[in-house]
């Protein structure tokens, strides 16, 4: 069959038998989406010993999504590493039975992987820590092809950010929402190394302060979207640093950053000397220090501001 993309997401009738039939019959399949197919297990992907039942699609697959497939485990990852060598995009969001050791193996082995979603999996630093034995065997390039990673609500610390900075310099999109143990030190390491970052999500990262955001302003010239919502420790200084340094920014979310004042709006007001070339959307919803009158004045000067009121 010439089927290249198949989306079976949220289909309760999908079972291991269905998946095996797809993998056996769709030899040109490149994208397989199985989000929410809660009945499938690792067995759906295990090769049959008979040559007449080869899983032909595995060699052509480039994109797979298993979000909320709660029965999948490390055995699936082992299979993907061995049989699906062309994968560039994997989504394991909410697959809580896949743990650090499996992700570590994946990063070591899937050298062409470009996008990886590990959100809501309780992943820790162990998934990203390079062991001495890895280095002796030449695994310096762990995750080097990664362009995007989603670690939303993970149990990672600065150790993971140091690893990403070291091994993944081509990252363009990093989502770290609700990673409450990261600090400014890790953010500085990340933005210093990953100069191609276009999207950075630090929503509800409680330990981030003006120091870390200042580093984003200094090194995030390519940033297009930055989410600092619920970062309660940042002040107007952070916003000024972003306004000065992130010249390509298109969207800045500052929802419930309660220390901000009208000075944060002033940082983005255009003037003849520093007129921005990019359209910028600012979200100050929940920022009680921002006055409605100042917002209206800024809007008359061309700023696109959302306040939630």
Query: In the chain, what are the domain boundaries?
Result: 5-219+230-242
Overall fold of domain 5-219+230-242: 3.80.10
Place of tokens 């640093």: 241
Per-residue confidence (pLDDT) for residue 277, from 0 to 100: 57
10-residue mean pLDDT series, the chain (309 residues)? 84 93 88 97 78 66 97 96 92 98 94 97 91 51 90 98 95 98 98 98 98 98 98 98 97 98 96 64 97 96 89
pTM for the full predicted model? 0.93
User: At residue 183, what are phi and psi to the nearest 5 degrees?
Assistant: -130, 180
Per-residue confidence (pLDDT) for residue 137, from 0 to 100: 47
Query: Is the separation of the CB atoms in 89 and 61 below 8 Å?
Result: no
Per-residue confidence (pLDDT) for residue 308, from 0 to 100: 83
Per-residue confidence (pLDDT) for residue 274, from 0 to 100: 54
CA distance 163 to 146: 12
**Residue spans of alpha helices (H) in the chain:** 16-25, 74-83, 100-109, 132-136, 158-167, 184-193, 210-219, 236-245, 262-266, 292-300
């Amino acid at each position: 069959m010439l089927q290249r993309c198949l989306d079976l997401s949220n289909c309760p009738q999908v079972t291991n038998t269905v998946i095996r039939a797809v993998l056996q019959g769709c030899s040109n399949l490149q994208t397989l989406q199985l989000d929410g197919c809660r009945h499938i297990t690792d067995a759906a992907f295990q090769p049959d010993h008979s040559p007449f039942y080869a899983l032909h699609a595995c060699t052509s697959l480039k994109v797979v999504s298993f979000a909320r497939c709660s029965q999948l485990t490390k055995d699936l990852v082992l299979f993907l590493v061995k049989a699906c060598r062309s994968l560039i995009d994997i989504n394991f969001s909410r697959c809580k039975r896949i743990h650090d050791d499996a992700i570590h193996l994946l990063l070591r082995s899937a050298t062409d992987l470009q996008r990886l979603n590990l959100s809501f999996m309780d992943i820790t630093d162990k998934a990203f820590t390079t062991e001495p034995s890895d280095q002796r065997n030449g695994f310096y390039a762990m995750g080097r092809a990664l362009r995007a990673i989603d670690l939303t609500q993970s149990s990672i610390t600065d150790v993971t950010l140091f690893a990403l900075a070291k091994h993944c310099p081509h990252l363009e999109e990093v989502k770290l929402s609700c990673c409450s143990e990261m600090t400014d030190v890790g953010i500085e390491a990340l933005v210093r190394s990953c100069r191609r970052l276009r999207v950075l999500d630090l929503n509800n990262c409680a330990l981030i302060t003006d120091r870390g955001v200042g580093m984003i302003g200094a090194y995030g010239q390519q940033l297009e979207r930055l989410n600092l919502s619920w970062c309660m420790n940042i002040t107007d200084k952070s916003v000024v640093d972003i306004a000065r340094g992130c010249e390509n920014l298109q969207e800045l979310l500052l929802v419930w950053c309660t220390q901000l004042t009208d000075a944060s709006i002033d940082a983005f007001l255009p003037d003849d000397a520093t007129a921005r070339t990019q359209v910028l959307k600012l979200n100050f919803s929940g920022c009680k220090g921002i006055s409605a009158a100042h917002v209206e004045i800024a809007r008359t000067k061309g700023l696109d501001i959302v306040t939630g009121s």
